[in-house]
Amino acid sequence: MMQASADRDVVLIVDDVPENLAVLSDALDGAGYMVLVAEDGNRALERLERVTPDIVLLDAVMPGIDGFETCRRIKALERTRNLPVVFMTGLTESEHVVRGFMAGGIDYVTKPINPEVVLARIAAHLRNARLVTQAQEAIDAAGLAVAVVSRDGRYLWLTPKAYRGLHDALAEPPRAGESLPPGLRDWLQGETDAAPGRESRPFLIEAPGHRAAVHFLGGMTGGQYLLLVEENGPERGPSLAASYQLTGREVEVLTWVAKGKTNRDIGEILGMSPRTVNKHLEHIYVKLGVETRTAAAALAISLER
């Protein structure tokens, strides 16, 4: 797979009108960009199999698959899901603008194309893309399970750990540009509409052998929201249960204790009262041969490694 040039940003232009390709290619080349062209959506996708550009200028109306479907397919691929896509269209009606954003586009420019406007938009989006990439790499390196979603309930990007956690619990891949499952989307709406000062409650996702809790961390600029995914998978259970004869419920409680959760947090996550959580902890302490919460958490963490 060929990557974008380290010295020059690479722009892929997708348009079925040769005159538009010529005007944009000349303007971008003169501004120092490396330019690739494709005459329709299928050729654009073929290009993306061989090279990863830094940004895509995509005509909305083309023969074959249109720009909206092309964008959706770009966003469905793991390696191009974060690729900035700017639509070029003469369709200024609000429903077409919305379609572009819903397909995963980040901006649009109207025809007839003004090269100066296009250059300014591209420069701004490339700067933002670099900042986002740096932030994502830092979060990935820290091993955090974080997802960013849009105001209308679509995945924008996820760290690998968040992707794995949601994929295991939902049994389907959470792809950038696609909508959150209905239950998770409704919960997000409730969190964003909540009165100031109201305590946030996690959204629980359960599947055979997997449990994940999604936490609302707050809003970001541009109508985006940050979520934290905490997964309680099956990998710890058998080891703890076999070694200390813990029940399945006790394993779950101890797992969340090791994650630093309070009895109240654990009660909300597991659907029990804080008093019941404390009763489980009393039994756990006896079985582990420890006297404190810290010692129990340390033992659970050591067994995880």
Domain map (residue ranges) of the chain: 2-138, 143-231, 237-304
Q: What's the CATH fold of domain 2-138?
A: Rossmann fold (3.40.50)
Sheet holding 146-150, edge to edge: 155-158, 146-150, 224-231, 210-220, 203-207
Architecture of domain 237-304: Orthogonal Bundle (1.10)
Is the model's pTM score more than 0.75?
no
**Residues 241, 235: contact at Cβ < 8 Å?**
no
52: β partners = 3
Count CB atoms within 10 A of the CB of residue 79.
Answer: 11
Report CA-CA distances (Å) from 254 to 9, 24, 34, 231, 284. 49, 60, 55, 14, 8
Q: What is the assigned CATH class of domain 143-231?
A: alpha beta
Q: Give φ, ψ of 198 to 5 degrees.
A: -70, 135
All residues at 6 or more sequence positions from 162 whose CB lies less than 8 Å from its CB, including other chains:
144, 145, 146, 147, 174, 227, 229
In angstroms, rounded to a whole number, what is the distance separating the alpha carbons of residues 201 and 61?
A: 43
In angstroms, rounded to a whole number, what is the distance separating the alpha carbons of residues 175 and 280?
A: 38
Pairing of β 85-89 and β 34-38: unpaired
The residue written with tokens 């489980």 in the block is 280
55: β partners = 11
The Cβ-side half-sphere exposure at 47, using a 13 Å CA radius, reads 23
- Tell me which long-range contacts 186-192 makes (C-beta under 8 A, separation of at least 24): 187/214, 188/149, 188/153, 188/216, 188/225, 188/227, 189/153, 191/216, 191/225, 192/151, 192/216, 192/219, 192/225
The Cβ-side half-sphere exposure at 96, using a 13 Å CA radius, reads 15
The tens-digit pLDDT sequence of the chain (305 residues) is 444 444 689 999 999 999 999 999 999 999 999 999 999 999 999 999 999 899 999 999 898 899 999 999 998 887 788 789 999 987 666 777 788 888 889 899 988 889 999 999 999 999 888 877 777 666 666 667 888 888 888 888 888 888 888 888 887 778 777 889 888 999 999 988 887 767 778 888 877 777 788 888 888 766 788 888 887 644 444 556 667 788 878 888 888 888 888 888 888 888 888 899 999 999 999 888 888 888 888 777 766 55
